């Protein structure tokens, strides 16, 4: 029963990521695009953990989810620095 619930959650997360892809393509300002890419990354992270749980043979999806979290964190810092100052390095 839990497996089906997680499968449904994964499908809904993928749908939500597809919806935020519209904001990446259409977003008026660059801040919209950056935040939308960040949201897609977070959805992909949770979906990867769900995949690792559903197919319990392939626990290495946890590693890929960790790498995703790391890249998202750095993207947040770089985006905040760029939006705040207009440059990444002074």
Contacting residues toward another protein, per CB under 8 A: 60, 63-64, 66-67, 70-71, 73-74, 77-78, 81, 84-90
Which three-class secondary structure state does DSSP give residue 45? helix
In the complex with another protein, the residue whose CB is nearer, 23 or 81, is 81
CA distance 12 to 43: 10
Which CB sits closer to another protein, 14 or 67?
A: 67
CB nearer to another protein: give 9 or 38.
Answer: 38
* Closest to 13 in 3D by CA, of 39, 34, 52: 39
Residue 29's H or E segment, with its range, is: none
Q: How far is the CB of 64 from another protein (least distance, A)?
A: 7
How far, rounded to the nearest angstrom, does the alpha carbon of residue 24 sit from its chain's CA centroid?
13
**Residues present in the chain in total:** 90
CB of 85 to another protein, least distance (A): 5
The helix/strand/coil state of 56 is: coil
CB of 84 to another protein, least distance (A): 6
Minimum CB distance to another protein, residue 77 (Å): 5
């Amino acid at each position: 029963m839990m497996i089906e619930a997680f499968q449904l959650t994964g499908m809904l997360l993928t749908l939500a990521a597809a919806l935020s892809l519209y904001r990446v393509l259409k977003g008026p300002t660059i801040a919209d695009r950056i935040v939308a890419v960040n949201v897609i990354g977070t959805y992909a992270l949770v979906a990867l953990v769900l995949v690792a749980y559903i197919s319990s043979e392939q626990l290495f999806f946890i590693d890929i989810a960790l790498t995703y979290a790391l890249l998202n964190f750095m993207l947040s810092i770089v985006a905040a620095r760029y939006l705040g100052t207009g440059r990444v390095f002074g």
